[in-house]
Amino acid sequence: MIRVLIVDDQELIREGFRALIEVDPELSVVGVAGDGAEGVRLAVQQRPDVVVMDIRMPVMDGIEATRRIRTNTELSACRVLVLTTFDDDDYVFGSLRAGASGFLLKDTPVDELRSAIRVIASGDSLLAPGVTRSLIEAFVRTDELKPLAPATNLFAELTAREIEIARLVAEGLSNGEIADRLWLGQATVKTHVSRILAKVGARDRVQLVIAAYESGLVRSPGGSS
């Protein structure tokens, strides 16, 4: 059972999401909160696997709430799935830096919402090519983001296979899609990704994607890889 906490300042959205999520027998909503501060408090109390987090909220916004959840050692297993709109670039950038593991548009089909929760809970990141990838590309072009390490050293310890997988992760492919592309088992891909994260010093797949673009390992669609 995947435990879910919903944080949104609109009651209709909170309760709508609760009803839609709990249709799935593998998902359980353990709480709802109307602002970021309440969301952090409930996260500590309920220890959810995934927090579905709105960005614009009173008292404490979703960015600060995400940061507090992701930096709380008691919540190390808790992942954050941020709800956004495509024109909220500044907010999404802040969420990336705060440690969010994925993003969805608020008009995402219900099946995709439930699938995204599973993806986040599994330890993967939601890097939908049509949304998150383009936002990450814009993010890494800003002057605000500091490199995780000197670009020349970031991927120096990776094997040829790990570099190949890192590129596919940065292109937005899931473990399953990478496995199909390279004719590998999903468990093997997951092991490779874990090793890549450790070698690069990235917190999760989202940060790995940022590092890949920063270092030049992967180029935006207008460039070459």
Per-residue confidence (pLDDT) for residue 127, from 0 to 100: 58
Radius of gyration (C-alpha) of the chain in whole angstroms: 17
pTM: 0.70
- Please give the DSSP secondary-structure letter assigned to residue 131: I
pLDDT tens figures, 205-222: 777 877 887 777 776 544
Q: Confirm if 38 and 57 have CB atoms less than 8 A apart.
A: no
List domains and CATH numbers for the chain. 2-140 (3.40.50.2300), 151-215 (1.10.10.10)
CB atoms within 10 A of CB 143: 5
Which pair of structure tokens corresponds to residue 105?
A: 């548009």
Determine the pLDDT at residue 166: 92
Regarding predicted confidence, which is higher, 145 or 196?
196
According to the model, what pLDDT value does residue 28 have?
94
Local structure of residue 52 (DSSP, 8 states)? E
* 43 — pLDDT class (breaks 50, 70, 90): very high
The string of pLDDT tens digits covering residues 47-97 is 999 999 998 898 999 999 999 999 999 998 899 998 876 555 566 667 777
Query: Within a 13 Å sphere around the CA of 93, how many CA atoms are in the beta-carbon half?
Result: 14
If you count them, how many residues does the chain have? 225
Instruction: Report the pLDDT value the prediction gives residue 139, as an integer from 0 to 100.
Output: 59
Q: Which range (24-38, 41-55, 129-143) has the least confidence? A: 129-143
pLDDT of 151 strictly over 90: no
